[in-house]
Amino acid sequence: MTTFIVRRVLWMIPSLLVVFTLTFVVVHATPGSPWDESEKPLPEAVKQNLAKQYHLDDPLPKQYADYLINALHGDLGPSYRSVERSVSEIIAATLPVSAQLGLASMLFALLVGIPLGTLAAVKHNSWIDYTASFITVSGLATPPFVRVSLLVVALSLGVAWLPTGGWNGIWDVRSIIPTLAIGLGPAAILARYTRSSLLEVLGQDFIRTARDKRLEDVMIVVRHAMKNALIPVLTVAGVTLSNVITGAFFVERIYGVPGIGRQFVDSVTGRDYPLLLGIVLIFAILISVVNLLTDISYGYADPRIRYR
Amino acid sequence: MPLARRPTGLWRDAWHRLTRNRAAVVSLVFVVLLVIVALFANLVAPYPFERQDLESTDLGPSAGHLFGTELLGRDELSRMVYGSRISLAVALVDVLIVVLIGVPLGLAAGFFGKWLDTLIMRTVDVLLAFPSLLLVIVVITYLRAVLDQPTGPILSVIGGLDNLTGGLLGVFIALGLVSWLTVARLVRGQVLSLKEKEFVEAARMVGASNLRIMARHLLPNTLAPVIVAATFGIPGAIATEAGLSFLGLGVRPPLPSWGILIAEGVRNMRAFPHELLFPAVVLAVTLICFNFLGDGLRDALDPKLKVD
């Protein structure tokens, strides 16, 4: 197991480097900077000064090495757009907001997805199963920007229960729509996996034994089946995180949440390449770590799995 | 005892199973209607999609404008009818990418193994570990900047084509990066087990070349899962295009991508929620139908198959 963890951690480094290097090269090959957009062309001297300030004239390998070394010290460079804040400061200010929103969405997904999948599996091929499957497919199929739009139309404009946008911390009512809009995707994934995994387990011999012993149905599902059925569901943790991150791009933008997803979108449309690069790096690390933890916890949860 | 049932082919059986699935049949009808609407958009649409009428802006739904009009008095229904062309073009290209890139790479990786397998599958692993939308956005940022001011003959041609298609080409290239991944992995897995079967050995005995074995013996046997996976890929591709266009990174106005319609609807939702509601609902229904069709095809083609 220890060897597996060590190998897995070591494998994470090249994988991260590949994504980071690709992004770095792509971003640096991208022509144009935010200053091209101004209506008045800048004087040549000013441009040179700016290039010097941001080290744009250094050879690419040197820029790459400098960036990596600085990044390891927590310095992701200056933003092209923001005068008063560096990339690291922008991320430090916006990541906690998205983290709260992301955790709330995940919690929602767990509390809705797993019971929904369980119910669908236990009442296999009944109207409950079909209703659950319709909800699941709707959640899987609709992109987050459609979900948040429809939620705003229904809950804010239709019945006027909730505000149409803004952010005031996770405990404010304003966080309900973004949480639902992001969380419905992962909830659908969890429900689908729980259902198929539980169906498989319910067909196994030890469940029949439990039934023959006249154990109560609820006991069989909760004590015997769920324990085994939830292990494969662990594998989708990485997928659900991806879902939460890309969901945040749209939901934060539409609902006006000052999180890192909105910063990412703004960095793309505003050609703030250092910010874009920094955020991609943060996302890549986050996803790699979660994938790693998933693999490790999988091994602990299911003793039948042997790692080489 | 003689066989009571006439022997039937795989495809006929699959069709029977598919038509017994009510959700899949309804979805299939919707998709066929959508294709007809897209093909004959000029006949179906009541107005030209770009015709402005500043006398009748932001109208609600009425007999003259079934889905109302928007800020510039353009007919929403007509714009959505033409928008279906964009969504279906994306669906078509996505399937082409799956067939022309994903299937051959998966075949080659599974059949030849060794370093080729490692190379292809490690690439797939790294790309799949990160949310595809993140990668697509990074790539399309680059493409947008390069193709807007193309340098060199090749880029000029690509840039010209991109302009001609209103920015669709950039979306296609970005999709090309990610939409073949799952199918390549799937085909490789199938080939790994298929190539050990007796019929492949028999083909080799009679002197069939590698190419012939792959094309005539392995490929047809992977067809069913590929069809299912390609169908499941379509809603993802349509949603990606809509999402990119929503962010202003996809199709350029005045081309009426559903993503653009939703973005305009969001801007206007407080005063005129119907401008958001109609495109959002149509997009959601389309994506849900493709998903149900995928579910139906999976159950029809191979009940044991799992594609997620």
For B76-85, the pLDDT digits (tens) are 777 888 888 8
Q: A225, A223, A177: which is closest to A199 by C-alpha? A: A225
Tell whether A294 lies on the interface with B, counting CB pairs under 8 A. Answer: no
CB contact under 8 A, B291 and A245: no
Tell whether B92 lies on the interface with A, counting CB pairs under 8 A. Answer: no
CB contact under 8 A, B141 and A23: no
pLDDT of residue B141: 82
Query: Once rounded to an integer, what is the mean pLDDT over residues A189-216?
Result: 82
Query: Once rounded to an integer, what is the mean pLDDT over residues A128-148?
Result: 86
In chain B, what residues touch A27 (CB-CB under 8 Å)? 138, 141-142
Q: B186, B124, B102, B137: which is closest to A15 by C-alpha? A: B124
Query: Which of A143, A157, A271 shows the shortest C-beta gap to B243?
Result: A143
**Amino acid sitting at position B246:** F
Query: Which of B131, B145, B266 shows the shortest C-beta gap to A32?
Result: B145
Cα B230 to Cα B249: distance, rounded to the nearest angstrom: 24
Query: Once rounded to an integer, what is the mean pLDDT over residues A71-85?
Result: 78
Tell whether A151 lies on the interface with B, counting CB pairs under 8 A. Answer: no
Query: Which of B130, B262, B287 shows the shortest C-beta gap to A149?
Result: B262
Phi, psi of B307 (to 5 degrees): -125, 120
In the numeric block, which tokens belong to residue A33? 């900077």
ipTM computed for the complex:
0.80
Query: Once rounded to an integer, what is the mean pLDDT over residues A221-230?
Result: 77
The answer to whether the beta carbons of residues A247 and A299 sit under 8 Å apart is no
**Amino acid sitting at position A78:** P
Query: Which of B134, B247, B266 shows the shortest C-beta gap to A280?
Result: B134
For A21-37, the pLDDT digits (tens) are 888 888 777 766 656 65
Query: Once rounded to an integer, what is the mean pLDDT over residues A103-113?
Result: 91
Q: How close A84 comes to chain B (CA, Å)?
A: 25
Q: B96, B241, B101, B115: which is closest to B185 by C-alpha? A: B101
Query: Lowest mean pLDDT: which of A43-52, A65-74, B186-195, B200-209?
Result: A43-52
Tell me, letter by letter, the H, E, C secondary structure of chain B.
CCCCCCCCCHHHHHHHHHHHCHHHHHHHHHHHHHHHHHHCHHHHCCCCCCCCCCCCCCCCCCCCCCCCECCCCCEHHHHHHHHHHHHHHHHHHHHHHHHHHHHHHHHHHHHHCHHHHHHHHHHHHHHHHCCHHHHHHHHHHHHHHHHHCCCCHHHHHHHHHHHHCCCHHHHHHHHHHHCCHHHHHHHHHHHHHHCCCHHHHHHHHCCCCHHHHHHHHHHHHHHHHHHHHHHHHHHHHHHHHHHHHHHCCCCCCCCCCHHHHHHHHHHCCCCCCHHHHHHHHHHHHHHHHHHHHHHHHHHHHCCCCCCC
CA atoms within 13 A on the CB side of B75: 16
pLDDT of residue B5: 59
Q: A272, A276, A274, A273: which is closest to A249 by C-alpha? A: A276
In the numeric block, which tokens belong to residue A127? 């109207």
Nearest CA in chain A to B139: A26
> How much is the pTM?
0.85
Tell me, letter by letter, the H, E, C secondary structure of A104-123.
HHHHHHHHHHHHHHHHHHHC
pLDDT bin (cut points 50, 70, 90) of residue A108 is: very high
Query: Which of B133, B276, B291 shows the shortest C-beta gap to A137?
Result: B291
pLDDT over 50 at A90, yes or no: yes
Cα A251 to Cα A273: distance, rounded to the nearest angstrom: 22
Query: Once rounded to an integer, what is the mean pLDDT over residues A217-245?
Result: 78
In chain A, what residues touch B291 (CB-CB under 8 Å)? 137, 140-141
Sequence-distant (≥ 6) Cβ neighbours of residue A84 within 8 angstroms: none
Phi, psi of B69 (to 5 degrees): -125, 165
Q: What is the pLDDT along chain B (308 residues), one digit of tens a residue?
A: 455 556 567 777 788 888 888 888 899 999 999 999 888 878 777 777 676 766 766 666 776 666 677 766 677 777 888 888 889 999 999 999 999 999 999 999 988 888 998 898 888 888 887 788 888 888 888 887 777 776 777 777 777 777 777 778 888 888 888 888 989 988 998 888 888 888 888 888 888 888 888 888 888 888 888 888 888 889 989 998 998 888 888 888 778 888 888 888 888 877 777 878 888 888 999 999 998 898 888 888 865 544 44
pLDDT of residue B33: 92
Tell whether A142 lies on the interface with B, counting CB pairs under 8 A. Answer: yes
Helix, strand, or coil (residue A124): coil
Q: B97, B32, B31: which is closest to B229 by C-alpha? A: B97
Helices (H), A142-255: 144-151, 176-202, 205-212, 217-219, 226-233, 237-255
